[in-house]
Amino acid sequence: MESSQPLDRVARIQADWHRERPDVDVTPQGVIGRLHRLAGRLTEELRLVYGRYGLSEGEFDALCALRRAGAPYERAPGELAAHTMVTTGAMTKRIDRLERAGLVTRRRSDDDQRGRIVALTGPGRELIDRAFTDHMRNERHLLDLLTAAEAESLQALLTTWLSRLEHQPASGSE
Per-residue model confidence as pLDDT tens digits over 69-102: 999 999 998 889 888 878 888 888 999 999 999 9
Q: Of all residues in the chain, what percent carry a pLDDT higher than 70? A: 93
Contacts of 37 (CB under 8 A, 6+ apart): 9, 10
Task: Report how far residue 122's alpha carbon sits from residue 164's, in angstroms, rounded to the nearest whole number.
Answer: 41
Residues of the chain with pLDDT under 50: 1-3, 173-174
State the pTM of this model.
0.83
Helices (H), 53-147: 57-68, 77-84, 88-100, 122-143
Domains of the chain plus CATH, in order, are: 9-21+34-150 (1.10.10.10)
pLDDT given at position 44? 96
The answer to whether 124 and 63 are in contact (CB under 8 A) is: yes
Task: Report how far residue 119's alpha carbon sits from residue 149's, in angstroms, rounded to the nearest whole number.
Answer: 40
Task: Report how far residue 56's alpha carbon sits from residue 111's, in angstroms, rounded to the nearest whole number.
Answer: 31
